[in-house]
Structure 1
Amino acid sequence: MKAKLWTKDYVILLIASLFLYIGFQIFMPTLPAQIIKLGGTETQASLAVGLFSLVALFMRVIAGGLNDRFGAKIMILVGFFVLIAVTVNFYWSTVVSALLVLRLFHGVGWGITTTSIATGVSTLVPPNRTGEGIGFYGLTTALGMSLAPIIAIILMNQFSFNFLIGFSIVLMVLVFLLVTRLKMPKEARVVKHKMQLFDKGALLPALLCMLMAFPLGGIQTFMMIYGLELHVKMVWIFFVGQAIMVLVSRVFAGRLYDLKGHRVVIIPGILLMGIGLWWLSMAMGAWSLFGSSLFFGLGYGMVQPSLQALAVDRAAPDKKGIANGTFLSGMDVGMALGSFGLSFIAAHYNYALMYRWSIVTLVIFLVIYLLVFRGKRLLPGK
């Protein structure tokens, strides 16, 4: 009999993930703008992106082991409590230094919560449906990251930064209450073993994820500015196209991973991302932005969940928390390096060339992937 995937607890975690990514990621394009508005410098604005990534990276290392020891539900609630407390304090932070300090604690909550939700999902997904189960979880994270900039731009234009804060708090509180109804398997709650900083099996997927996330960091951080360079007001249309294709990828990518292995999903996906970036670098208006987003979004929707499923497949049953923490650290590092590193190209040339050069990391990804898995069986767990 086919193992059941769509349980109540699995659905709760998917909803929690979607609302978490929307409620947190709406500050990615808006917090730097708020820092500039308060009199901060461009460097301080960039720190709003980098600081939380570095702290989240450190917290993922810790949170993975804590999940395996204390259970995912407890750690998810702890993470949301931290995020809610920090976001509330955004209301009273009227100086740049205070916002940057709060951003550090924002990274603490983000690292704990995202790692814990991923661990909970990995625990609930049946072993023979890893690609499908992790794929739908990857859908919620990718969809949240795609929808957040659209929501943020609309709310900032129509209302204010304080309204954005309130919107985020409401989402976080709702999810916190929803997670209290979560029931994890008893055998998955407490595992007694020495805490590890990373999982060896997840290092390769984490490295590949870092390379994949490098151009994504440039898109999340600079797309609004790129729109100004192109004289395009509807820059949010890129994220609409990306969200649509992430949804489309879920129709086939997860099952294809489980049936045929990761090569038939990852290689086409990374090529589609490269085509999307090239088209993005050649964009002349809103519709070319939209067209490029369809290729990039489909490729991203195929590659990211497949890499995470691969990381979980390569981990021992009692090391899923550490494996997820290791993998998601790759995403944080890639996003941070992408936002910082690509900014130097943009400063000396332009954003179009910046996106074109970001394809280099995808080429490196493909070379490493083919060298490592050449001649190996590529079914899940191999």
Structure 2
Amino acid sequence: MNKEKLWTKEFLIISAINFLLTLMFFLLMVTIASFAKTEFHASTSTAGLVSSIFIIGSLIGRLGAGRVIGDISVKKTLWMGILLFTVTSVSYFFAYNIAFLLIIRLLQGIAVGIAGTATGTIIAQILPAARKGEGIGYYSLSAILATAIGPFIGIFLMKLEEGFTWIFTLNVVLSIFCIIVIILAKIDLPAPIKKDSVQENTSIIGKFIEPKALPISFIALLIGFSYSGVMSFITFYAEEINLVEAASYFFLVYAIVIICSRPYTGKLMDVRGANIVAYPSFIVFAIGMAIFSQATASWMLLLAAALIGLGYGNFNSVAQTIAVKVTDVHRFGLATSTYFIMFDLGLGVGPYTLGFVVPHTGYRPVFVAMVAVIACCIPLYYLLHGRRDKELIKI
């Protein structure tokens, strides 16, 4: 029996574009605060705002992109995002004060939100129905690789003379490269899908959010919230427990485990449904977080990295696949943006919220509390999606 083709030209090119956009995003996330402090003598809080305002822009971009895709086409939306990203990349060379830099960061965040929603929607549309879990699993690996490589390149370039010039130049070059690839490759992107005017949701909320994708997206928000503390506080936590050297390998182990496991979990989901991956992912993530919260040796911290990668990392691709599968084809753009809006909210709100708690409790109790949040997601997932998952296996 021949499988429907997965590794098409369109799949490879869109995945590559997603990789480059994510790489540039993380490259700047780890360096732009330093640029603000060095060039404009910004305070620590202002420098942090320069870095984090990008996330706000991304949320705005995703919220609008889901609607735009439905009104025009996913191809035009992708072009809109990439062109705006290129313009804002060039603008870094003309940033003359902190206010202008903040505007650039906000606009570039919007660009990434638009382009990222478009690439995710394209992937959802071009993948064979029977291989969506596997395909989205492979596609999301492009972002995982970028999260590991981007910060490494950024920190390396900062060490060079005129390091920030090299960073901004690389962003412009990669942005133009994305444009050239789309033009020369002549990829066949999905045409706009005609809407059923009778069934189309005409409510205000329905024009920007896909209600069918909200249940699983809410679970993704909670899971993202649980992980956000690890992402944001690991450096401080490692210093507190004297495991700084081991912590430097944390995300490397995390990424390797996801890269090795995700192709298998994607195939398993396509054959057996999401539950067989989701429930073990919750349990493994909770165990990994528990070990992380009590780590006293390097092997414990790295074991936690492996388990968190296996649990948290694989749930993400499962949840994204579910968000698409429960949605009508012509609303794939809204489903994709809904999922990432909720997921990004969890990642964004988490550090800010937990930051108020840590001074009073310390890091270990906060991470223990996150184990409880993850555990609560198991019955919540069952109620919101798990009990009906069998209906989607043949879709």
Same fold (TM over 0.5): yes
Q: Do 2:138 and 2:263's aligned partners in 1 also have CA atoms closer than 8 Å?
A: no
1:216-295 matched pairs, under 5 angstroms: 216-231=227-242, 232-233=244-245, 235-284=247-296, 287-295=299-307
Structure 2: how far apart are the matches of 1:141 and 1:27? 15
Query: Which of 183, 187, 190 matches 2:187?
Result: 183
Q: Do 1:265 and 1:303's aligned partners in 2 also have CA atoms closer than 8 Å?
A: yes
Match of 1:166 in 2: 169
Percent of aligned positions with the same letter in both sequences? 25
Structure 1: how far apart are the matches of 2:167 and 2:233? 20
Structure 1: how far apart are the matches of 2:186 and 2:228? 32
Q: Do 2:193 and 2:330's aligned partners in 1 also have CA atoms closer than 8 Å?
A: no
Structure 1 range deviating more: 371-380 or 213-222: 371-380
Corresponding pairs, count:
381
Offset at residue 331 of structure 1 (A):
1.7
Offset at residue 233 of structure 1 (A):
4.7
Larger radius of gyration: 2
Query: Which of 279, 287, 296 matches 2:308?
Result: 296
Offset at residue 182 of structure 1 (A):
4.6
Match of 1:326 in 2: 338
The alpha-carbon distance between structure 1 residues 374 and 21, as it changes in their structure 2 partners (threshold 3 A), is: closer
What SS is found at the alignment partner of 1:212? helix
Encode CA deviations 1:336-382: one digit per residue, 9 max, x unaligned.
Answer: 11221122233434344443333343233223102234543435368
The alpha-carbon distance between structure 1 residues 94 and 230, as it changes in their structure 2 partners (threshold 3 A), is: farther
Unaligned runs of 5+ in 2: none
Offset at residue 250 of structure 1 (A):
2.0
Structure 2: how far apart are the matches of 1:49 and 1:380? 40
The alpha-carbon distance between structure 1 residues 139 and 107, as it changes in their structure 2 partners (threshold 3 A), is: same
Match of 2:25 in 1: 24
Q: Do 1:86 and 1:106's aligned partners in 2 also have CA atoms closer than 8 Å?
A: yes
Q: Do 2:134 and 2:263's aligned partners in 1 also have CA atoms closer than 8 Å?
A: no
Match of 2:108 in 1: 106
The alpha-carbon distance between structure 1 residues 201 and 297, as it changes in their structure 2 partners (threshold 3 A), is: same
Amino acid of the residue matched to residue 265 of structure 1? V
Structure 2: how far apart are the matches of 1:280 and 1:157? 31
What SS is found at the alignment partner of 1:376? helix
Structure 2: how far apart are the matches of 1:56 and 1:15? 19
Q: Do 1:87 and 1:168's aligned partners in 2 also have CA atoms closer than 8 Å?
A: yes
Amino acid of the residue matched to residue 167 of structure 1? L
Query: Which of 182, 204, 212 matches 1:201?
Result: 212
Q: Do 1:76 and 1:113's aligned partners in 2 also have CA atoms closer than 8 Å?
A: yes
Match of 2:154 in 1: 152
Structure 1: how far apart are the matches of 2:316 and 2:212? 17
Q: Do 1:59 and 1:112's aligned partners in 2 also have CA atoms closer than 8 Å?
A: yes
Match of 1:2 in 2: 3
Structure 2: how far apart are the matches of 1:170 and 1:283? 42
Structure 1: how far apart are the matches of 2:373 and 2:164? 34
Offset at residue 27 of structure 1 (A):
2.3
Offset at residue 121 of structure 1 (A):
0.4
What SS is found at the alignment partner of 2:388? coil
Amino acid of the residue matched to residue 74 of structure 1? K
The alpha-carbon distance between structure 1 residues 182 and 280, as it changes in their structure 2 partners (threshold 3 A), is: farther
1:304-319 matched pairs, under 5 angstroms: 304-319=316-331
Structure 1: how far apart are the matches of 2:227 and 2:334? 24
Matched, 1:128 2:140: no
TM-score (norm 1): 0.90
Offset at residue 62 of structure 1 (A):
1.7
What SS is found at the alignment partner of 1:27? helix
The alpha-carbon distance between structure 1 residues 358 and 88, as it changes in their structure 2 partners (threshold 3 A), is: farther
Amino acid of the residue matched to residue 26 of structure 2? Q
Encode CA deviations 1:240-289: one digit per residue, 9 max, x unaligned.
Answer: 11110110122311111111111111111122222222222333465543
What SS is found at the alignment partner of 1:251? helix
Amino acid of the residue matched to residue 330 of structure 1? M
Offset at residue 85 of structure 1 (A):
1.8
Structure 2: how far apart are the matches of 1:119 and 1:245? 26
Amino acid of the residue matched to residue 264 of structure 2? F
Unaligned runs of 5+ in 1: none
Structure 1: how far apart are the matches of 2:373 and 2:346? 10
Structure 1: how far apart are the matches of 2:90 and 2:232? 24
The alpha-carbon distance between structure 1 residues 354 and 10, as it changes in their structure 2 partners (threshold 3 A), is: same
Matched, 1:355 2:367: yes
Offset at residue 4 of structure 1 (A):
1.2
